[in-house]
Structure 1
Amino acid sequence: MARRPVKVASCSGYKTDASVQMLRQATLGDVDFITGDYLAEMNLAETAEAFRAGKHNGWCSTAWEGIQQSLEVIAERCIKVVINGGCQNPEGLARKVSQRGHQLKVAYVLGDDLYEKIGPNLAALGEHLPAHLDSVNSKIKVPQVSTAFRNKLDVPLVSANAYLGARAIVEALRAGADIVICGRVSDSSPVIGAAWYWHSWSDTDYDQLAGAFVSGHLIECSAYATGANFSGFTDYQLDGLVECGFPIAEIDADGTCVISKHECTQGMINEETIRCQLLYELQGTIYLHSDVKAYLNDVTVKEVGKDRVRVAGIRGGPPPPTTKLAIFYRGGYQCQYLLNATGYGTDEKWKLLELQIRKGLEHSSASQGISLLEFQIVGVPEYNPRSQLRSTSYCRLFAEAAEEGPLMALIEVFQNIALQHFSGFHFALDMRTALPRSFLAYYPSLYDQDSLQETATIIVNSADKIGDVTIQAGHPPRYEPCEDRENYDTSDPLSLTSLGYPKIVRLGDVALARSGDKGSNLNCGIFVKDPQMWDWLRSYLSRERMKQLMGDDWSEEYFMERVEFPNIFAVHFVVYGILGRGVSGSTRLDCLGKGFADYIRDKLVEVPSSGVQTNGHH
C-alpha cells in the first residue's frame, strides 16, 4: 500500500534567506522534511579560498543558525532535515550539529569537491580540461571569453564542485539519519532524496524521480513559488507580498505533487506563480539531473484549492553519463564607474565622454593591457521630467584587465579630463568602485558521473570519529546520452489577421514571464493569462519575433532555442552566449538575466482586440 504524500518544506533558496525560516516551517504546520538550498555558484567559490586559508568555517552561517534555532522542535516533531548548507565543509557543520545532542543522528555527504583533482592551475590541464557544459550541442558557439584562459600560462583555480544527485542522501536516510548535511548537491537533490526515501522508490523509477525533481525545482528558490520574483504581482495588493511564506511540496507515490504553504503566511500560490517558477532557469523541454532526466512536454499545472496547485504530466528517463562541474578561477581585475548625465543632449554627452576616455587611453602605454572596455548607458531621461532624478541617466563604464596596472591607468585618464567634461556631468563623490578589484570567473563544465566518489557518513562519535559509518553512494545503474534539444517555431501557426482586428498593447498586459541564467545562457518562459490567447502567443512569438523584440540586445553570435508547453500556454526561449562567462564573469548589468522577462513584457505587440484584458487588483 502506497504511503501518503510526503510533505517537504523549503526553508532557504540562498544563503541570505533568514535563518528563522527553518523554525517557521517546523512550527507553523505539519511537515515531514525540511530542505534548504543555500548555494549558488558564487558563494561556493568565495567560501573555498577563505576556508582553505583557515579564515572561514566553510559552511553557510544561516544554515547553522537555522538548525541551532530548530533542533528542539525538529527532535520533538520527528522532522528530518536535508540541506546543502555544508557548502565547502559539510563534515564540519555536521559535527557541530551532532555535538548539540538531542539524540538526533547526523550525517554528511562528500564527493562534490574536486579541487584537489582538478587544480591548482586551470591552464595547466591542457587537453585534460573538462569539456564546457554547452559543448554537447554542436549548434552552439561557446563564447570566446569563456575559454580565453587557455591562452594564459597561470590560471589559479579557486574551486571545482560537481553537482551531486540524491543517492548519498537516500543512503544516509536509510541508515537512520535525522539530519543530512550536504555540500554541492543539485538544488533539487534534497527534495528528491526525501521523496525517494519516503516512498521507497528504486533508482529506476524514473517517472517518480522526475516528478520529485520538478517538485524540488518548484520549491528550491523559497518564496519564488509564493509571490516573490512574480511578474504578475501588480494585480495584487502589495501589503500581502511584503513577507511571503515559503513553499511546501506534497509529493505523492507516483511523483505528482501539490505545492502549498502554511495557511497563516503571506503571499499566494496559484497557477500563475507556479507556472512562473516552473519556467525558471529551464533549458527547454528536457531537464537534466544526476539521477534522472525529466521530460516536461506534457506538464500540467492546476489549482486544486486555496494556495494549493497540483503539478503532473512529467515523464522520466535515465540520467546522462555526465553531471555539471562548476569551476571558478582567478579571472583578473575589474572596475566600474557610475557617471551621471541630466536632461538636454544626453546622447551627445555620452558620445563625448567615450571619445575623451578612448583618446586619453591612446596616450597611456599601460592601458594596452585593458582587455575589455564598455560604455553601458542605463536609462533614458523622462520627457518633460517632473524632477531632476527623472531626467537623469547614467553610464556604467566597465573595464577588465589581467593586472591592476592598466585599470589604474584608466583612473589617471579619468582624472585628466575631470574638468573637461560635458555640461552637467556629475557622479557620487564615493568612487570606490573605480578601484580595480580581483574577480572570480566561471567555467561551467561536464564531469563523468562514474568518476565521482560520493559518500554518506553517519556520525556515531563526533569527538574522535570512532564508530562513524561511511556508505558508498554508488552510481546510477543506467545512463542515456543527451538527446538533441528541441527547437522549433509553432507547427501550425494561425494567420494573425484571422484572429481579429489587431490592437497595440504591451506584452505584459496579456502575458506573464520569468527569466534567469544558466552559466553563459539566458532563459525566458512566457505564458498568456487567458487560455484563449494561446493560439495568438504561439503564432506570434516565433524565434524571429523574439530577436526583433530583443532589439540591440540580440547578436548573431548568439544561438536561440524555442519550445512550447501547450498545457500551460507557454513558450520558452534559451539565448546561448548572451551572458558571456556568466555569473561574476559577466559584463552585463543584469548578469543573472532576471530582468530580461520584464524587459520583453514592456515591448509593444499586436494582439487581437477581443483578447485584451486590463490590469486590475484582486
Structure 2
Amino acid sequence: MATDIRPNGQTNGHTNGALKRVLRIAGVSGGVFDRFRSMQDLAKDPSIDVLFGDWISEISMTFRGNERATRDSDAERTAFEMSFVAALKPAIKDIAKNKQRVISNAGSCDPEALAKVVQQLVKDQGSDLKVSCVTGDDVTEQFKAMLKSGEKFPSLPSDIPIDQWGQKPVCAQAYLGGVGIAEALRHGADIVICGRVADAAPVIGAAMWYHNWGRDDFTQLAYALVAGHLLECSAYVTGGYYTGFKQELLYANNCTNLGFPIGEIEATGEFVITKEENAGGIVNIQTVTAQLLYEIQGPLYYNSDVTARFDGIKLTDEGQNRVRVTGVVGSPPPPTTKIGITARGGWQAEVHFFLTGLDIAEKVELVRRQTLESMGDYRKEFQTLTFNVTGSVPINPKNQASATVDLRIFAQSRNPDLMSAGTHKGVAPDTPSFGKWCIENCLQGYPGGTPAMDLRQSIGKPFFEYWVALFPQDKINHELHTFDGKTVPIPPPSNTRVYPRRQDSYDTALPLALDTWGKTVRAPLGHVVHGRSGDKSSDCNLGLFVRHADEWDWLRSLMSVGKLRELLEEEDKGKKIDRFEIPALYAVHFLLRDHLDRGANSSSSYDILGKNLCEYVRCKPVDIPKVFYDRGTI
C-alpha cells in the first residue's frame, strides 16, 4: 500500500491502494461562534495537510467594515476576528510539528493587522511558522468612483439600482478567489490570513498549490469549488442541521460532538468527504446532499476563479463516513465577482409580550392600537414597525406554556433619541421613546397582560443595511503580502465568460399524475422528504430531496413552483421563484428571490438566515403515496 506524498516530500500516511497524491484538508470553523476545539484537535493529526476555517459572515462583515470605515487612524483599525487567535494558539506547536498549513478569512476587514498579531503569537510560542496575508477585498474607493461615474450596481436579489436604496454606503468589499492563497503557499507561507474571500476560496487555493493546477484547469478548480462549498460550514456536512437527525444522531446517542469534516482531493479534482475518526456525527449521501443544496443560486455556482455546474453531480457511498463526489463540470469564471456594500441603517429595538389562552388575535389588535396611539405622529419616524405573533394555542392545551404565544413589537428608526430609553448621550430619561410607548399601556391592556421583564432589548442598537451586487474583477487590487516583506500582485483572470444574469429555471418535464402510485396518506411533506434552506443576502434557497430512486418521479412531479407557493401560503411574498433539478441526487431546488426582509443584517423576521423556511415547508401536509410512507418516516 503506497502513501500519499505532499509537496514538501513528507508522507501524510493516508493509504489509497495505489500511488495517488491526495490533499487532505479539514474544515475547522463554519463561523465566528464555532467550537474552538477543532483546530487544536485536528492539528494533532499528521495525515491532514491543511486546516482552513470560515470566521466571517455577511453580518460580521458589516460590523467590521463599519469599524474600519469610522476609525481615526490605521493604528486603531483592528477590524478582524480575535476568536481565530484563541482557536489557533493551542494548536501552533502541533501545526509546526506536522508541517500543516492554515488558511483563514478571519482577517475580515483588516487582514494585515491580524497577520501581525498572528506572527507575534507564533513567535511567542517559540515557532518559526511563516505568516502571509492576502488583501484587495476592500474596494470602497473603486466602488465610490464607479458610483460617481454613473454605475448602477443593481441588487442581485431584486435588480433594483443602488440609487433607489436610500442608504449612504460606508464601505464595499469584493469576494476574492483562491489564487492569492495559492501564491502565498507557493511562496512558503505556513499561515495565510485573508479578508473577504469567497467561502470556498481557501480550498481552491490549497488545491491549486498542492496539485500545481493552473488558472485554466477549470474541471479541477470546479471540483475544488464544490469541495470548499461542502467543507466550509464545518459540521453542516457531518450531521449539523440534518433533517434525519432523529434516528441517526439523537436516538443513536451520536449528537453531542459532531466531527469536523475532511476533504480528500485528488489530482483530477475528484474528492471524498469524510470526517474526524474519533468524534461523533455522520457523513452519508443525505448529509452531503443537504450541504450541497445549501445557499446555492441555481445550476451554476459562480466564483472568482471558476464556474461549477451542479445539476450533473453524483454522490457515491464509499463506506462508513465516506462519500465520493463526481460529475462536476467546470467552465471559466465570470469577469465579475460579488460585492457586499455596507450602510448604517439606524437603530433597532424590540419589546415582547406574552399572550395566553383565548382571543389571541383580538389581544394583539388591542396592543397594536394602544401602542400606535401612544406614539402619535412619532410613528412616522420608524422605517419599520411590526407586531408579530410567534406560536399558536392548541385546542385544550395541556399546560400553560403550550397555551402561551409571544408578541414581538419590532422597530427600526434613524432617530437615536426615539430608540434610547434615556440612554442616548444628551437625551433626558423622560424623553418619549419606543420602549416607554410599548410598556406604558400595560395597566390598560389585555387580559393577563405580561411583558418580558428584561427590557434591555427595548434600547436601540445599531443595525446595518447590506447591498449585494457585481463588481469587475479587473478593478480589484488583489495582492499577496509575504512573510518576508514582498508584495506580489495577483492579476484578474484572463479567461472569463459572460453568463446571463438570471439562471435557467423550469418546472419538471413530463410530470406524472399524482395518483400514479396508488393510495396516499395525508401527512407532513417532511415525513419522507429531506431538505435544507439558507440565505444569500435577501434571497432564500430551498433544496428538497428524497432517499430512494422510485420516490424521485413523485417529488419532481409534486414540487412545482405552483405547489411551493401553495405550501408557503401567507409566507409567499409573490416574488419570482426559480427552480431546477439534480436528478442524480433526487433533488429539487428553489430560489426565492428577495424573499427575506433585506437579509440577516436588518431583517425584522426571526428567520434572519432563511434556515427555517425548509422546516416550515416540510411540516406542511401533502398526499404522500402510502408505499413510500410505509417505509418509515425520516
TM-score, normalised to structure 1, is: 0.92
Identify the match of residue 180 of structure 2 among 149, 163, 168: 168
Q: Which amino acid aligns with 1:434?
A: S
> Per-residue deviation at 1:29?
5.5
Cross-structure match for 1:400: 412
In the TM superposition, residue 209 of structure 1 has moved relative to its aligned partner by 0.3
What does residue 543 of structure 1 align with? 561
2:467 alignment partner, one of 421, 426, 443: 443
Q: Secondary structure at the match of 1:160?
A: strand
Give the match's secondary structure for 1:505: strand
1:260 counterpart SS class: strand
Alignment of 1:485 with 2:503, yes or no, is yes
Q: Deviations over 1:117-140 (max 9, x none)?
A: 446xx9x945645513427xxxx5
For 2:489 and 2:348, the matched residues in 1 are separated by 43
In the alignment, the residues of structure 1 paired with residue 115 and residue 76 of structure 2 have an alpha-carbon distance, to the nearest angstrom, of 19
Structure-2 residue corresponding to 1:298: 312
Residue 255 of structure 1 is aligned with which of 266, 269, 272?
269
Q: 1:320 aligns with which of 334, 340, 352?
A: 334
What pairs up with 1:149-298 in 2 under 5 angstroms? 149-150=165-166, 155=168, 157=170, 159-238=171-250, 239-298=253-312
Residues 1:76 and 2:93 aligned together: no
Match of 2:437 among 408, 413, 417: 413
Is contact 2:561–2:577 with CA below 8 Å preserved after alignment?
A: yes
**Bigger Cα displacement from structure 2, 207-216 vs 364-373:** 364-373
- Label 1:49 to 1:372 Cα distance change in 2 as closer, same or farther (>3 A): closer
- Percent of residue pairs bearing the same amino acid type: 34
Residue 516 of structure 1 contacts residue 522 of structure 1 at CA under 8 Å; is this kept in 2?
A: yes
| 2:482 aligned residue (449, 458, 483) | 458
Structure 1 window deviating more from structure 2 (160-169 vs 88-97): it is 88-97
Aligned-partner Cα distance in 2 for 1:323–1:130: 15
Distance, in Å, in 1 between the alignment partners of 2:557 and 2:236 is: 29
Contact 2:65–2:342 (8 Å) recurs in 1: no
Judging changes above 3 Å, is the alpha-carbon distance between structure 1 residues 613 and 174 closer, same or farther for their aligned structure 2 residues? farther
SS at the partner of 1:9? strand
Q: 1:43 deviation in Å?
A: 1.2
**How far 1:168 moved relative to its partner?**
0.7
Letter of the 2:153 counterpart = A
Which range moved further: 351-360 or 82-91?
351-360
1:377 aligned onto 2:399: no
Closer, same or farther in 2 for the Cα pair 1:488/1:56, shift >3 Å?
same
* Counterpart contact for 2:46–2:98, Cα < 8 Å: no
Q: Pick the aligned partner of 2:344 from 327, 330, 333.
A: 330
Instruction: Report the AA paired with residue 131 of structure 1.
Output: F
Is contact 1:133–1:324 with CA below 8 Å preserved after alignment? no
Q: Which deviates more, 234-243 or 303-312?
A: 234-243
TM-score, length of structure 2 as denominator length: 0.90
Alpha-carbon distance, 1:27 to partner = 1.2
The aligned counterpart of 2:456 is 432
Structure 2, unaligned runs of 5 or more: 1-17, 420-431
Equivalent in 366, 370, 373 of residue 352 of structure 1: 366
Partner of residue 465, structure 1: none
Q: Deviations over 1:474-508 (max 9, x none)?
A: 11121111234111110110011122122211111
Q: Aligned match of 2:607 in 579, 582, 590?
A: 590
Conservation of the 8 A alpha-carbon contact between 1:2 and 1:199: no
- Shift, 1:141, TM fit: 5.2
Q: Is the 8 A contact 1:9 1:247 kept in 2?
A: yes
Gapped regions of structure 1 (runs ≥ 5): 461-467
Q: Which letter maps to 2:43? A: A
Return the letter of the residue paired with 1:215: A
User: Greater shift after overlay, 168-177 or 25-34?
Assistant: 25-34
Matched, 1:66 2:87: yes
Whether the aligned pair in 1 keeps the contact of 2:529 and 2:547 (CA below 8 Å) is yes
Query: Within 2, Cα distance between the matches of 1:385 and 1:367?
Result: 37
Shift of 1:571: 0.3
Aligned to 2:493: 476
Shift of 1:303: 1.2
- Amino acid corresponding to residue 489 of structure 1 in structure 2: D
Q: Does structure 1 retain, via aligned residues, the 8 Å contact 2:77–2:110?
A: no
| Higher alpha-carbon deviation: 232-241 or 214-223 | 232-241
Matching of residues 505-524 of structure 1 within 5 Å: 505-524=523-542
Q: How far apart are the structure 1 equivalents of 2:278 and 2:384?
A: 51
Match of 1:132 among 131, 154, 162: 154
Please state whether the residue corresponding to 2:443 is helix, strand or coil.
coil
Match of 1:86, SS? strand
| Distance verdict in 2 for CA 1:104–1:409, change over 3 Å | closer
SS, match of residue 448 in structure 2: coil
Please say which of residues 19-28 and 451-460 is displaced more in the overlay: 19-28
The equivalent of 2:446 in structure 1 is: 422
Aligned partner of residue 349 in structure 2, secondary structure: strand
Cα deviation per residue 1:530-560 (whole Å; 9 max; x = unaligned)?
221111000001000000000101022x110
| One-letter amino acid of the counterpart of residue 12, structure 1 | S
What amino acid is the match of 2:393? P
> Does residue 5 of structure 1 match 2:30?
no
What SS does the corresponding residue of 1:499 show, helix, strand or coil? coil
Which of 107, 110, 134 pairs up with 1:86?
Answer: 107
Superposition deviation, residue 352 in structure 1: 2.1
Give secondary structure in 1 for the equivalent of 2:608: coil
**TM superposition shift of 1:311:** 1.1
Of 101, 104, 123, which residue of structure 1 is paired with 2:129? 104
Amino acid at match of 1:545: K
Query: Aligned letter for 2:191?
Result: I
Closer/same/farther in 2, CA of residues 55 and 431 from structure 1, 3 Å limit: farther
Aligned counterparts of 2:152 and 2:52: Cα–Cα separation in 1: 31
Residues 510 and 530, structure 1, Cα contact 8 Å, conserved in 2: no
Distance 1:539 1:147, change over 3 A: farther
Q: Which amino acid aligns with 1:568?
A: L
Instruction: After superposition, give the CA deviation of every residue in 1:15-44 in whole Å (9 maximum; x if it has no partner).
Output: 112333112112146111111111101212
Q: CA deviation at 1:56?
A: 6.4
